[in-house]
Amino acid sequence: MLSGVDHDVPDGIGMARLAWTRLPTADGEGAGPSTSAVADGELLSAAAMESLDYEVIENYAYREEQAQRSKFWVPYYVMLKWLFSLLIGVGTGLAAIFINLAVENFSGWKYTATFAIIKHSYFVGFFVYTVFNLALVFSSVYIVTNFAPAAAGSGIPEIKGYLNGVDTHGILLFRTLVGKIFGSIGSVGGGLALGKEGPLVHTGACIASLLGQGGSAKYHLSSRWVRIFESDRDRRDLVTCGCAAGVAAAFRAPVGGVLFALEEVTSWWRSHLMWRVFFTSAVVAVVVRSAMNWCNSGKCGHFGAGGFIIWDISGGQEDYSYQELFPMAIIGVIGGLLGALFNQLTLYITKWRRTYLHKKGKRVQIFEACLISLVTSTISFVLPLLRKCSPCPQLDTNSGIECPHPPGTDGNFVNFYCSKDREYNDLATIFFNTQDDAIRNLFSAKTFHEYSAQSLITFLVMFYSLAVVTFGTAVPAGQFVPGIMIGSTYGRLVGMFVVKFYKKLNIEEGTYALLGAASFLGGSMRMTVSLCVIMVEITNNLKLLPLIMLVLLVSKAVGDFFNEGLYEEQARLRGIPLLDSRPKQVMRNMNARDACKNQKVVCLPRVSRVVDIVSVLRTNKHNGFPVVDRGLNGESVIGLILRSHLLVLLQAKVDFQNSPFPCGPGVLNRHNLSDFVKPASSKGKSIDDIHLTEDELGLYLDLAPFLNPSPYVVPEDMSLAKVYNLFRQLGLRHIFVVPRPSRVVGLITRKDLLLEEDSNNVMAELPSTSV
């Protein structure tokens, strides 16, 4: 017997029934929620991660469960999926409204109080402004460090990892959701150089995951009747909807949300999912719009006029000449260079933080965030004081220019340290303002030149530095808005230059600011299609589409020349083993056997002694074990058993038997079927928590009814590149490498798979074996 001993991959006899490659099936029942949070959001390590199981484990339990399902199960399942898409849209939309409402109101109170006080004393005004910011940032960092460590950062690298097949513990917990929402309010309201858009993507994903698991069991907020989507496959679909909803809510860009999920986060896609994601994004758009309409009448305090990103620059430059393409391409190059530099600097700083700073504990993290808040407040208050004010243009209803009245509160242009009422301070207009208003100002496409080059350069240098330093602090932080602000500043600078150079053309600086924003995001995040659509949706100007496409392509190409995109770099730094869309070149010259050279496969015999199973689980950290059976023809692999299933069996003890011979199926009525149908994750369960007596350790366990009888198998000489593609496209967790089989029992072609379809369309949604 092979109990608990290292064992080479057995001969492939009997493997013919195991699939070489299989069509992806639609569904499976899967892992429960993550139950543990990482101790420190920064210190995520590979050990804190585990792969997800997207595979359908077609064991006896699965088949039995399929047989027990009533005929109403299928419509119920499909209906619930759509209902959940709706709920995710509503939930994310409401969360976005809440965050925006809180941020706008906090900012509104802060600026109103500060502007009222500086009429009497600038020093006291500065003090109040700084303390207000400090209090908000402190609340944010305190929540994150003490309550929800996984809420730090944007969360996009972790969600990207999740949708790539890696579960980082703690990222989708209820407390992470709460931490993300309240933390974002503090960090964004506190004026740090970061945005709320990335965190909203994470918020949408958390809402989706929590809904999918029927609420939070830990906080007794769960409901059994909706707990139908516990499989990793279903949760992945819901989380994809959540991500799209997050972007749709953050930018009020529903199509951009769908494309963001498709291009940036998920590695896996299918048309049914596309429809649901589309539906969720549309729901978000409706929810957000309803709230905006309601709030516009002044019911929501400072929220309404300036809340939510929508920078409608229609009325600006509607056409472009070919001469402008060159400066626009230059904007793309600058975006690529500055974006790549941003990625590199943030990578170094994050590494340094992890190695030297954050290891010292929560207090250091809190102190760091508060210090950055003080520096940010000082820079944003003091630098505008050094600028001279400019007179407002003649108030012209068509120009849309809103010079401050009353000074500095609501208007886009801020009257700050100006001697006259009808003057504005251009640096304060972008520095001493809410982010959304600042961007609206930078994008504004009006007939006069609102900003001096000196102010724009000052802002660019200072804000870029602040954004780099702020990235990686222990607060929820998105990079979209800082990226847009940085990009629109140098875009506008280029625009000013072009206006001077091509005097005869109708050129708007605001248009160049928009292109600059797109170029920086393209250069840093390396998104193209989704970003392009998001930019068009938020500016409401379709005519600029070709220009945005141009700068995005240039900036991405330039950025790619230097390093990887921001999220990929950060994911790698956090130890998330992301599988890129393409295998490395070297894999073409390697085969499957090379990838597992010198590996001694740890197998379990079909009927194992309990003591041997315990020993294998104690001495190995692996989550899957091949199961072998000894027959007349020698030894053959009969499937794969998951660690989590072994733990369930050891804990339940009901299948222990005295006999070392197979007992066959029929034992399942003693179990909760779902424990074996779901490829339940072993998170939260440990072999050390299971206590067995001496007698129990001497008994036997037949693993056959619980194993996955058809795991994916590849021949040892298949190229590693091909294995890679298979692994990634099917979202696999384990793949067996076997010797070349000696005979073929059949051959399947496309035509063999075109079976007579049941007329019911909804069947396509279901696991292959259930239809």
Looking at residues 595 to 624 of the shown chain, list those that interact with ligand ATP (rule: CB under 6 A): 596, 599, 601-602, 621-624
Q: Shortest Cβ distance from residue 736 to ligand ATP (Å)?
A: 10
Q: Shortest Cβ distance from residue 38 to ligand ATP (Å)?
A: 16
Token code pair at residue 255: 């199509």
Looking at residues 40 to 99 of the shown chain, list those that interact with ligand ATP (rule: CB under 6 A): 50-51
Q: How far is CA 426 from the centre of its chain?
A: 36
Cis peptide before 679 (omega within 30 of 0): no
Q: Residue 476: what are its φ and ψ, rounded to 5°?
A: -65, 130
Closest CB to ligand ATP among 321 and 599?
599
Cβ of 107: how many Cβ atoms within 10 Å? 26
User: Minimal CA–CA distance to 463: which of 427, 495, 493, 436?
Assistant: 427
**Spatial distance between the Cα atoms of 659 and 224, rounded to a whole number of angstroms:** 38
Per residue in 165-189, is it b (16+ CB within 10 Å) or e — as a string?
A: bbbbbbbbbbbbbbbbbbbbbbbbb
Token code pair at residue 625: 């074990």
Closest CB to ligand ATP among 160 and 302?
160
Q: Residue 359: what are its φ and ψ, rounded to 5°?
A: -65, -20
H-helix or E-strand containing 627? strand 624-631
Q: Shortest Cβ distance from residue 595 to ligand ATP (Å)?
A: 8
Q: Shortest Cβ distance from residue 601 to ligand ATP (Å)?
A: 4
Q: Shortest Cβ distance from residue 50 to ligand ATP (Å)?
A: 4
Closest CB to ligand ATP among 566 and 720?
720
Q: Shortest Cβ distance from residue 228 to ligand ATP (Å)?
A: 24
The amino acid that residue 79 corresponds to is M
Closest CB to ligand ATP among 18 and 554?
18
Q: Residue 240: what are its φ and ψ, rounded to 5°?
A: -60, -45
Closest CB to ligand ATP among 167 and 569?
167
User: Minimal CA–CA distance to 452: which of 414, 419, 489, 483?
Assistant: 489
Q: Shortest Cβ distance from residue 625 to ligand ATP (Å)?
A: 5
Q: E strands along 431-544, which residues?
A: none
Closest CB to ligand ATP among 302 and 733?
733
Looking at residues 720 to 759 of the shown chain, list those that interact with ligand ATP (rule: CB under 6 A): 733
Q: Shortest Cβ distance from residue 620 to ligand ATP (Å)?
A: 7
DSSP state of 678: S
**Spatial distance between the Cα atoms of 509 and 503, rounded to a whole number of angstroms:** 13
Closest CB to ligand ATP among 218 and 622?
622
Total number of residues that touch ligand ATP (CB under 6 A)? 12
Alpha-carbon distances of 722 from 306, 485, 709, rounded to whole Å: 51, 42, 23
Choosing from 115, 520, 625, 706, the residue that interacts with ligand ATP (CB under 6 A) is 625
Closest CB to ligand ATP among 329 and 601?
601
Q: Tell me, residue by residue from 469 to 508, as one string, x for binding to ligand ATP by CB under 6 A and - for no binding.
A: ----------------------------------------
Cβ of 579: how many Cβ atoms within 10 Å? 17
Closest CB to ligand ATP among 267 and 452?
267
Closest CB to ligand ATP among 525 and 723?
723
Question: Pairing mode, if any, of strands 6-7 and 601-602?
Answer: antiparallel
The residues pairing with 708 across neighbouring beta strands, listed in sequence order, are 640
Q: Shortest Cβ distance from residue 622 to ligand ATP (Å)?
A: 3
Closest CB to ligand ATP among 41 and 624?
624
Closest CB to ligand ATP among 51 and 455?
51
Closest CB to ligand ATP among 387 and 685?
685
Q: Shortest Cβ distance from residue 29 to ligand ATP (Å)?
A: 18
Which residues lie below 8 Å from residue 443, measured CB to CB, with a gap of 6+? 311, 313, 488, 510, 513, 514, 517, 539
Token code pair at residue 584: 């490395």
The residues pairing with 719 across neighbouring beta strands, listed in sequence order, are 591
Cβ of 481: how many Cβ atoms within 10 Å? 24
Looking at residues 558 to 597 of the shown chain, list those that interact with ligand ATP (rule: CB under 6 A): 596
H-helix or E-strand containing 642? strand 634-642
* Token pair 């996955």: residue: 708
The amino acid that residue 241 corresponds to is C
Closest CB to ligand ATP among 393 and 715?
715
Q: Shortest Cβ distance from residue 52 to ligand ATP (Å)?
A: 8
User: Minimal CA–CA distance to 602: which of 627, 629, 634?
Assistant: 627
Q: Which residue is nearest to ligand ATP (CB)?
A: 51
Q: Shortest Cβ distance from residue 46 to ligand ATP (Å)?
A: 8
Closest CB to ligand ATP among 53 and 324?
53
Q: E strands along 274-406, which residues?
A: 390-391
Q: Does 130 bind ligand ATP (CB under 6 A)?
A: no
Alpha-carbon distances of 549 from 207, 528, 622, rounded to whole Å: 33, 7, 46
Closest CB to ligand ATP among 557 and 602?
602
Closest CB to ligand ATP among 595 and 690?
595
Q: Shortest Cβ distance from residue 643 to ligand ATP (Å)?
A: 7
Find out whether 387 and 426 touch, Cβ atoms under 8 Å.
yes
Find out whether 522 and 556 touch, Cβ atoms under 8 Å.
yes
Q: Shortest Cβ distance from residue 30 to ligand ATP (Å)?
A: 13
Q: Shortest Cβ distance from residue 232 to ligand ATP (Å)?
A: 11
Triad 379, 385, 387: Cα angle to 5°: 110
Token code pair at residue 731: 């979202």
Looking at residues 516 to 555 of the shown chain, list those that interact with ligand ATP (rule: CB under 6 A): none
Q: Shortest Cβ distance from residue 4 to ligand ATP (Å)?
A: 11
DSSP 735-757: -EEEPPPS--S----HHHH-PPP
**Spatial distance between the Cα atoms of 730 and 707, rounded to a whole number of angstroms:** 20
Q: Shortest Cβ distance from residue 703 to ligand ATP (Å)?
A: 14
Find out whether 77 and 766 touch, Cβ atoms under 8 Å.
yes
Find out whether 642 and 711 touch, Cβ atoms under 8 Å.
no
DSSP state of 8: P
Give me the residues that bind ligand ATP (CB under 6 A), please.
50-51, 596, 599, 601-602, 621-625, 733
